[in-house]
Amino acid sequence: MRFLQSVAAGTMTVMIVAFGMIFYLFNRVAKVGGQVRIGADLVHTPVLLAPLVVAFVLGFGLGWWNLRPE
């Protein structure tokens, strides 16, 4: 249970940064392109998916690191 709490805390911390990056990129696309296609194009864009994948990996890693044997 403690491991899950630690992983969740680490994941949420990094997810906040990841969503911040996504909304920043979203605003950049909206201002530069003039039109934003929401849906399959957005979901399958590696640039937008990468921060989420990194967030889960870092969150799991942070949780594992916090609970390592001392």
pTM of the model: 0.39
Q: What gap in Å lies between CA 40 and CA 47, rounded to an integer?
A: 14
HSE on the CB side for 54, CA within 13 Å?
13
pLDDT for 6 equals 75
Q: Give the pair of three-digit tokens for residue 47.
A: 């640039």
Averaged pLDDT, groups of 10, the chain, 70 residues long: 74 76 70 55 62 75 72
